[in-house]
Amino acid sequence: MKKQKKEIGLAIIGCGTIGRIRGMFAKEYPGISWIGLCDINQQLGHKLKDDVGADFFTTDYNELIRRPEVTATIIATEENLHFGPTMAAIEQGHDLFIEKPLATDAQESLDILNAIEAAGLDAVMGYTQRFRRRFLAIKERLMTGQIGETTAVVTRAFMNRMVPIATTRRTNQRHNLTPMVVSGTHSLDMSMWLMEGLHPVSVYASSSDKVLAEHGTKDATFGVFTMNDGTIFSMNISWALPVVWPGAVYGLEIGIVGTKGVIDVEDTHRDVVMATEISQGAGYNPDGFDPGFQRHVEFLTSYPPGDMYNGQLWGPMREETNSWFSRIYAGLETPHATAQDGHRNLMLTMAMDLSAKRGEVVRLPVTPSDFMG
């Protein structure tokens, strides 16, 4: 029997960079019959309302989420503010799209996950890189056993420091805004997705903070996980590269060694380089962020959501968002990260930070009580 189409009444909580991108896609999707927006910044919210032709705007997320028209909610607020609107949307029984992380507090993350599971809701997370063609191709090869059983995985992420500076300037609650929790979570999620079926049993990590300590965060965190079958997984990130670094945001390398083969991924975007006398501004530019430097060399295609053409964004965030709409509207099976994946990712990134702080191996799994104090 053909599945009955389910029209979507969409609430978007947070009208900043990512909320705007997803709102513009919502405007184009035929299965969405109603769009409501919420942001504490009225100017930002009204601008997006005009641009997408939204039906409603408010500064009170409860007012929006309780509207009878709303059936699905996107949580796109800054990282520390996910808990309240997410729990409100769960209470109303909405389909959910939550930008990572579920929360920056381990107990709040667990509370959200428990509430989602108790309500039996479909909730996915914003791990956009799962929708890039190269990683889908790799996932298919691993699922069909093309390199045998995994024995070792090495993951390295390099990021220009615009992201941590722009992220920490929005809040004084910076204790969990670390390179792993905020950004390393993307490459960790990718690695865990590619190692599906394995789970880590311990981690040892170390961090440095020579550059970004003044902003209340770390420069880099390097760690080694041991998986339940003996596979070793090296997970490293530095988000303190100079502002003039040509990568707009993310440069990633992943090596996966198996018993019968290997997959080696260079996703650093150095294959398409532009050098120009014209300043390229900030590669990551939320709410008018000015890095204070001019950038004249750019690794094209290094902005994770995608690339602009003729006033529209094309790339993995378009596919991720539209496939979520189709997941709700037509019951499409999609590769989205689940809320369970999101909570696991938070706990593993925080376990790396805990190991670095203690200077010792941390046994896994961990619980929220392990992070108290």
| 339-373 per-position pLDDT tens digit | 999 999 999 999 999 999 999 999 999 999 999 86
By the 10 Å C-beta count (0-12 exposed, 13-18 middle, 19+ buried), 335 is classed as: middle
Chain centroid to CA 281:
23
Closest CA to 45 of 56, 34, 53, 37: 37
Task: Domain 8-121: give its CATH superfamily.
Answer: NAD(P)-binding Rossmann-like Domain (3.40.50.720)
| 272-298 per-position pLDDT tens digit | 999 999 988 766 665 566 767 788 999
Q: What pLDDT is attached to residue 167?
A: 80
Mean pLDDT score, 110-117: 98
> What average pLDDT does the chain have?
94
Q: What pLDDT is attached to residue 184?
A: 95
Rounded to the nearest 5 percent, the helix, strand and coil shares of the chain are 35, 25, 35
| 133-148 per-position pLDDT tens digit | 999 999 999 999 999 9
Mean pLDDT score, 45-68: 98
Q: CA–CA separation, 117 vs 203, rounded Å?
A: 28
Per CATH, 8-121 and 130-305 having the same topology is answered no
Q: CA–CA separation, 28 vs 16, rounded Å?
A: 19
In this structure, the strands spanning 8-13 and 72-75 are parallel
Q: What pLDDT is attached to residue 281?
A: 75
Q: CA–CA separation, 39 vs 297, rounded Å?
A: 34
| 219-275 per-position pLDDT tens digit | 999 999 999 999 999 999 999 999 889 998 889 999 999 999 999 999 999 999 999
CB 268 within 8 A of CB 247: yes
Q: What pLDDT is attached to residue 168?
A: 83
| CATH architecture of residue range(s) 130-305 | 2-Layer Sandwich (3.30)
Return the number of other C-beta atoms located less than 10 Å from residue 58's C-beta.
Answer: 17
Please report which helix (H) or strand (E) contains residue 134, including its range: helix 133-143
Q: What pLDDT is attached to residue 1?
A: 33
Q: CA–CA separation, 178 vs 218, rounded Å?
A: 6
- For 153, phi then psi, to 5°, come to -135, 130
Query: Residue 151: pLDDT above 60?
Result: yes
Strands (E), the chain: 8-13, 32-38, 56-58, 72-75, 95-99, 123-126, 150-160, 200-208, 220-227, 232-241, 250-258, 262-267, 273-275, 297-299, 307-309, 312-314, 337-338, 362-363
3-state secondary structure of 198: coil
Return the number of other C-beta atoms located less than 10 Å from residue 330's C-beta.
Answer: 13
Q: Where does the pLDDT of residue 173 fall: very low under 50, low under 70, confident under 90, or very high at 90 and above?
A: low
3-state secondary structure of 104: coil
Structural domain spans, the chain: 8-121, 130-305
- For 164, phi then psi, to 5°, come to -65, -35
CA distances from 62 to 39, 80, 339 (A): 11, 17, 21
Q: Check residue 205 and report its DSSP letter.
A: E
* Two structure tokens written together for 16: 């900043």
